[in-house]
Amino acid sequence: MRTLQREEVSVYVGLGANLGDARQAVQKASGDLAAMADTRLIACSSLYQTAPVGAQGPDFVNAVVHLRTRLNAIDLLHACQGIENDAGRQRPYPNAPRTLDIDILLFGEATIKSEKLTVPHPRMRERAFVLLPLQELDAQLVSPNDLQFVRSQAIQKINSMPD
């Protein structure tokens, strides 16, 4: 019997943290994503520092990573949640400060609307901390109108992610 191999899908994932060593947490999460089965890391954006948007606590460190994976979207979501849990993520209330947040922003060309997952991420076009790192990885994914919409949000590039 022949096993069918799923084709790779191009995926963009947002990373953020604002508790503990946020920079280290985002960098480690990037490595953890790259180490997942049937997944490879294509590129990482620079790190960005932003004030919380719709959340509380200290400033966030954010980045976006580009992956290629053979995982389906729900398996990828579960793997991301496992990485969050390993980083000590707790969810005491919506938008609570967090040791790590991983959001699937884009999953190939898919549009997914389920109880567990919505892709494209429903608020990604409202957030400078997603759009600027995403633009850094693929400028065609971010329109000038998107950037105009978030121009008032304070964001600062910290540095490039280490290889």
Marked catalytic residue, from 40, 70, 91, 101: 101
Marked catalytic residue, from 2, 32, 103, 146: 103
Q: Do 40 and 67 meet the contact criterion of CB atoms below 8 Å apart?
A: yes
According to DSSP, residue 149 is labeled H
CB atoms within 10 A of CB 137: 18
Q: Do 105 and 68 meet the contact criterion of CB atoms below 8 Å apart?
A: no
Task: Name the amino acid, one letter, at 86.
Answer: D
98 as an active site residue: the answer is yes
163 as an active site residue: the answer is no
Rounded to whole angstroms, how far apart are CA atoms 8 and 33?
15
Marked catalytic residue, from 89, 138, 146, 163: 89
Marked catalytic residue, from 21, 40, 86, 98: 98
91 as an active site residue: the answer is no
Task: Name the amino acid, one letter, at 62.
Answer: N
Task: Name the amino acid, one letter, at 29.
Answer: A
Catalytic site positions: 89, 98, 101, 103
